[in-house]
Amino acid sequence: MRIAGMTPLLQVYDMLESLAFYRDVLGFEVVAASPQVDAPEGRFSHWMALERDGVNLMLNTAFDEGERPPTRVDLLQRAHGDVCLYFGCADVDGVFEELSGKVADLAPPSNAPYGMRQLYLRDPDGYALCFQAPLA
């Protein structure tokens, strides 16, 4: 058996907000999307495939149009705390500099005791993201 890749699918509360984060802040590009719907929450696609530098990610709305609650569901937000996406990168400090003005309360990278330089942040739905590189 040969595995050629993996693409996580994240359930999101607000597709437009999540798209703005992954596309405009992190630099992902939309490579595929479901047809757009007109909903009380706005015009959006329920599903999107994103890509940056060979890294793939999919977003899917947690609620159908007109069914989204007025505020995030705390239980769902807490459940996302168990998920962390690790992104390999060559320059963790460069990622920190790039994101510093774009991500609120971004703490500087730190060195993990197991030999990795890591920068942690959370997306709008509470999923943890870690940009990391081995220490020299």
Q: In terms of residue numbers, what domain contains 20?
A: 1-66
Residue 66's pLDDT is 82
CATH of the domain at 119: 3.10.180.10
Whether pTM > 0.75 for this model: the answer is: yes
Mark whether 3 and 52 lie in a shared domain: yes
Distance CA 114, CA 106 (A): 22
Summarize pLDDT for 59-77 with one digit per residue, the tens. 999 988 888 888 888 777 7
Question: What's the structural domain count of the chain?
Answer: 2
Summarize pLDDT for 73-85 with one digit per residue, the tens. 877 777 777 889 9
Q: Is residue 72 part of a domain?
A: no
How long a stretch of residues is the chain? Answer: 136
Task: Give yes or no for a contact between 119 and 95, defined as CB atoms under 8 angstroms apart.
Answer: yes
Classify strands 128-134 and 84-88 as parallel, antiparallel or unpaired: parallel
**Token code pair at residue 115:** 């030999």
Classify strands 116-122 and 128-134 as parallel, antiparallel or unpaired: antiparallel
Q: Give me the mean pLDDT over the 108-125 stretch.
A: 96
Beta bridge mates, 30: 50
Residue 84's pLDDT is 94
